[in-house]
Structure 1
């Protein structure tokens, strides 16, 4: 770890490896371990037989005439049901395999296989997803930006070499350059997504409330379980990029700004018209709900960070050509509505100039 290399596996397994004579994992000379592997292998063989039967059923159903199955819609419903059951059986066939768990702990799992996607999803839901859901409530992302949101994909946020935890404060000089996302989905297949970066706390002095601003907007970005890297700086200007990266900033005196990075999944086969979207959307007063409803996209993941005025904000705003770097927001003093009370007690008795020296 001192050399910057993270150890592989749990502490318990690393300690066990030190005491073993470099024997392959599946050949460890422990009778109980080998007997347990025989039981697991027999269970796996049973699951493989069930998988073969279901594949035969699926093949026969696909070759069957739709009129026999109750129509094309009913046939497709049954096909999807069998496919889901097949995925379940594939997971159950490998869920107890110690070699599978070893590869997953070592980070060597193939995310094209259902078992590794299942294990990754379960690990994410045990901790990281709970943090995201808690931040959604803590920072009122729901309902300020969206009426409802259930994360189904893991989104890791980073600026250059710094990894950002959900809700962290990020220095304006660090966030001056586009972020890098790692979006891990847990269902098979490639899909197109849109990425939206929204500031939910833009001060509106005239109306005494806050507006929203879009700092980045891109569409038609492909991701899959094995293609999870999503650097925002590499979006294609012609077919993907709608609004380029605007450095996050918070003017002096304003409260911290909440920056939400939403990943929205597009419908299968849906390709958004980037040229039309460039004409349609502006940065100021960007409505995320309207974008979601208009283009029928579904939010699946979220990255979240905060920004406030710091010593580098002025330079960031000047380099980006953003106005207002020389402004400072101050709270308006509101006079009390309660009428002033007459002096009573000690104050009334000592109100004359005779006791002026006693007053503060």
Structure 2
């Protein structure tokens, strides 16, 4: 044994011979301030359940978070808030025993009461203006409607200001339980989307030339998400041909209260044209008269009715040897929410020589959102093209070699 470890080894041997455990417990019973055995067992049971059966609302250990994600129940809210809830012993959020927090809530409640009074005043003014005779104003009915629209916008703004600082509203929004029928949740969702997702979306559609190759302009005001079954596709991702053979599901989230009639077009602007030595544009899907509201953002292209579909789903394909193809998804709002005649639209559509600009001009469509995914030649592409009836699965495109002009050649025969 090493000399440095000898004293510690002797001390351990001497302590083993003493019954210090029972004497310490018996001596500490008279002045101990800890919980009894029942409370200690309950605490150990709750600690054991926390690790064996974690809850999405209170889990904050990264290992347990991964366990919940794998089980299909991801954690709710931020990790800091989940840790605070786990250590608060079940105290309601409004009754947290923090003096500064409670004093701040009093200030917020008073401010909300003032906003509610202003809302009631605006509503009374709107009611009086609606009953008033429009001829008393110089502008007549047009001036009256203009005033009503301005007052309604101010009313919606006051509703947002009344709830914007409420901690319960922010908590429900972070948990994904916000009601999109209420203006405050639409405002918070719009602000969150514009902080990050919209910037990425604008970068994608401009960097990959969806604007202006497909549509001349687009100022996105709706959030578009693409799903092929369980596959969540980000803007600009490559999608396997076996996955994109079936129609996709779109989540088109609008942040405005009024319902909209929209038209959804999926366009491939990268179809090679060897005769013209350029590219053509092909329409892979076109549907109109789709009603969109803040609470019903899901649009399943496979379940739309025949009275809405102008061009049925055509699987995206890319011939071998050709560069990748962009599949642009353009969402347009119909002017004044007027339905489009499907029979007239089918007559004016040429699927294999499709021009989005022409369609937007004829039917008075305004683009409110755009995104894209990409496809390229893969192992399943030949079978997909045969099933879809698209020619060229047995051919490989090769770039035509253009001979340089004589004065641009490196070693022309005349210089030798």
So what's the TM-score if we normalise by structure 2? 0.81
Structure 2 residue corresponding to 1:248, chosen from 296, 304, 316: 316
Return the structure number with greater helix share: 2
- What is the distance in 1 between the residues matched to 2:381 and 2:395? 12
3-state SS, counterpart of residue 32 of structure 1: helix
Give the secondary-structure state (helix, strand or coil) at the position aligned to 1:168.
coil
**SS at 1:299 equivalent:** strand
Is the CA contact 2:214–2:328 (under 8 Å) kept in the aligned structure 1? no
Give yes or no for the alignment of 1:192 onto 2:224: no
Partner of residue 136 from structure 1, selected from 200, 205, 209: 205
Structure 1 Cα separation of the partners of residues 358 and 146 of structure 2: 32
Query: Greater shift after overlay, 126-135 or 67-76?
Result: 67-76
Q: 2:275 aligned with 1:206, yes or no?
A: yes
Rounded Cα–Cα distance in structure 1 between residues aligned with 2:85 and 2:410: 79
Cα deviation digits, residues 280-324 of structure 1 (max 9, x gap): 212111111111111111111223100000000000011111111
Out of 31, 37, 42, the residue aligned to residue 105 of structure 2 is 37
Q: Which whole-Å deviations, capped at 9, do the CAs of 1:4-23 have from their partners, x for residues lacking one?
A: 21110011101111101111
Output the TM-score relative to the length of structure 1: 0.93
Equivalent residue, structure 1, for 2:66: none
Q: What does residue 246 of structure 2 align with?
A: 177
Q: Which moved more, 1:22-31 or 1:94-103?
A: 22-31
Residues 340 and 150 (structure 1), Cα distance of their counterparts in 2 relative to 1, 3 Å cut: closer
Structure 1 consecutive aligned stretches of length 4 or more whose deviation exceeds 4 Å: none
> Which of structures 1 and 2 has the larger relative contact order (alpha carbons within 8 angstroms, sep 6+)?
1
Following superposition, the deviation at residue 268 of structure 1 comes to 3.0
Matched, 1:18 2:80: no
The alignment partner of 2:351 has SS state of coil
Identify the range of structure 1 (319-328 vs 239-248) with the bigger mean alpha-carbon deviation.
319-328
Q: Distance in 1 between matches of 2:115 and 2:412?
A: 88
Distance 2:285 2:206 in 1: 23
CA-atom RMSD in angstroms: 1.3
8 A Cα contact 2:273 2:279, kept in partner = yes
Please, which runs of 5 or more residues in structure 1 have no aligned partner? 349-360
| Counterparts of 2:94 and 2:359, CA distance in 1 | 53
Pick one of 325, 328, 334 that aligns with 2:402.
334
Residue 206 of structure 1 aligns to a residue whose secondary structure is: coil
Q: Which residue number in structure 1 is paired with residue 378 of structure 2?
A: 310
Structure 2 residue runs without a partner (length 5+)? 1-68
C-alpha contact 2:228 2:249 (8 A) present in aligned 1: yes
Q: Tell me the distance in 1 between the aligned counterparts of 2:100 and 2:330.
A: 49
SS of corresponding position for 2:71: coil
2:38 aligns with none
User: Which residue of the other structure, out of 230, 235, 240, is the alignment partner of 2:299?
Assistant: 230
Distance 1:37 1:243, change over 3 A: same
Please report how far the alpha carbon of residue 138 of structure 1 lies from its aligned counterpart in structure 2 after TM superposition.
0.8
Q: Distance in 2 between matches of 1:115 and 1:102?
A: 13
